[in-house]
């Protein structure tokens, strides 16, 4: 794969920044001021409150390095104009009720199995998606986390109108730019080395990774769900460990860049 060679050759130059609570909001890192909107692609991450009945470490898992590194690779491997300030790639943190949400053609949620949406947040999510937005929910493992996330998602997108379907590898999102022939199961770096190289973080309960989607009435994908896999760590951990990088980065970035391009062109 050409992507593997490009990433391996450039890995030393990737952007590498350093580095739950009140009510139902989980504690996370210090929240910086969002950069001014300049019309270029900016990685938008959703901050959410954690449900006491869910399963997840909170919205800040993989933040900010996954956001910055995927933006870096998007700028390097495509001709997409990516937002920067003073040489650093911009990234944005938003709650679902923030007006700036509508400036993001793409948003990401990490560890959504722990998410909680109130009535206003659910309504805003539905409105955002109905107006052309795209949500990628990634990095949650096992059936409990799946059921918890789907329960929150159904507040915005009822099952009768918005069925969840499994994506076959023939779907265009696997082939937008790079040929992704299977959905990789990417574990966190800590689990990978702590388990002796296993990839299923919940054993039999998360043995098979899934790419699932929700489409609108016109058939346009509006939600991508990658379950039992952690693309965020493939982006975040660039430079942390060569073995982990060599095993997961190429497939992770290939699919990640495909998702971004698909979201912005469909």
Per-residue pLDDT tens for 227-243? 999 999 999 998 899 99
Measured CA to CA, the distance from residue 195 to residue 29 in angstroms comes to 28
Measured CA to CA, the distance from residue 138 to residue 78 in angstroms comes to 23
The answer to whether residue 26 scores a pLDDT higher than 70 is no
The 10s digit of each residue's pLDDT in 61-107 is 999 999 999 999 999 999 999 999 999 999 999 999 999 999 999 99
* pLDDT top residue among 31 and 105: 105
Measured CA to CA, the distance from residue 159 to residue 154 in angstroms comes to 6
Measured CA to CA, the distance from residue 230 to residue 199 in angstroms comes to 10
Residue 180: Cβ-neighbour burial (10 angstroms; 0-12, 13-18, 19+):
buried
The answer to whether residue 108 scores a pLDDT higher than 60 is yes
* Percent with pLDDT over 70 in the chain: 89
Q: Which of 221, 216, 231 is nearest to 106 (CA)?
A: 221
pLDDT at 15: 41
pLDDT at 263: 97
* CA 56 from centre of chain: 14
Delineate the domains of the chain, giving CATH numbers in brackets: 39-265 (3.40.50.12140)
**Which tokens go with 256?**
């990640």
Measured CA to CA, the distance from residue 127 to residue 33 in angstroms comes to 25
Q: Which of 54, 49, 53, 55 is nearest to 26 (CA)?
A: 49
The answer to whether residue 174 scores a pLDDT higher than 60 is yes
The answer to whether residue 10 scores a pLDDT higher than 50 is no
């Amino acid at each position: 794969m050409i992507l593997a060679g490009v990433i391996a050759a450039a890995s030393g130059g990737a952007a590498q920044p350093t580095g739950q609570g009140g009510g139902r909001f989980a504690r996370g890192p210090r929240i910086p001021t969002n950069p001014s909107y300049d019309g270029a692609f900016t990685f938008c991450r959703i901050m959410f409150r954690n449900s006491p009945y869910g399963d997840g470490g909170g919205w800040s898992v993989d933040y900010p390095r996954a956001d910055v590194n995927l933006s870096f690779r998007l700028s390097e491997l495509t001709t997409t104009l990516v937002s920067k300030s003073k040489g650093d790639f911009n990234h944005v943190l938003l709650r679902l009720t923030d007006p700036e949400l509508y400036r993001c053609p793409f948003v990401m949620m990490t560890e959504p199995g722990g998410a909680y949406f109130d009535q206003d947040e659910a309504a805003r999510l539905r409105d955002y998606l109905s107006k052309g937005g795209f949500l990628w929910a990634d990095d949650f493992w096992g059936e409990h986390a799946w059921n918890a996330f789907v329960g929150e998602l159904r507040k915005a997108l009822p099952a009768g109108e918005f069925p969840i379907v499994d994506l076959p590898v023939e779907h265009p999102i696997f082939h937008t730019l790079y040929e992704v022939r299977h959905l990789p199961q990417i574990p966190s770096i800590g689990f990978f080395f702590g388990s002796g190289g296993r990839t299923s973080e919940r054993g039999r309960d998360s043995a098979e990774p899934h790419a699932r989607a929700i489409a609108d009435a016109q058939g346009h994908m509006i939600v991508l769900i990658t379950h039992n896999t952690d693309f965020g760590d493939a982006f975040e951990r660039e430079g942390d460990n060569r073995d982990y990088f060599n095993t997961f980065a190429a497939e992770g970035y290939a699919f990640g860049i495909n998702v971004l391009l698909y979201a912005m062109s469909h």
